[in-house]
Amino acid sequence: LQEERRLMYVGITRAQRTLTVSTLRRRKRGRETVAGVPSRFIAEMKLDEIVAKADPRERLRRLRDELAARSAANKAAAAAD
């Protein structure tokens, strides 16, 4: 446990510009998908929710959906002309 804590400390203190701390929602254990359990060290950090950011993949998905909707609207408008 102390070695894990030391490695976390080293990782945090070596970050030069940004530090991204993440956890997983689920993972594979053999053939099973199980819920991910956040590291105890993340909980100890007591990160403010204000600092926590949304998953960038979710933002990208929303952007792609928006662009697809715009494209479909443009095609429909062109077909109506």
The ranges assigned to domains in the chain are 2-80
Task: Kindly report, residue by residue over 19-65, the tens digit of the pLDDT.
Answer: 777 778 888 889 999 988 878 877 777 765 546 666 777 777 888 88
Is there a contact between 46 and 38 (Cβ–Cβ < 8 Å)? no
Amino acid 4: pLDDT:
84
Q: For residue 43, what pLDDT is reported?
A: 75
In angstroms, rounded to a whole number, what is the distance separating the alpha carbons of residues 51 and 3? 27
Residue whose token pair is 């443009």:
74
pTM for the full predicted model: 0.40
**Residues 31, 33, 38: CA angle, nearest 5 degrees:** 135
Write down the pLDDT at residue 52: 61
pLDDT of residue 33: 92
> What is the phi/psi pair of residue 49, to 5°?
-65, -25
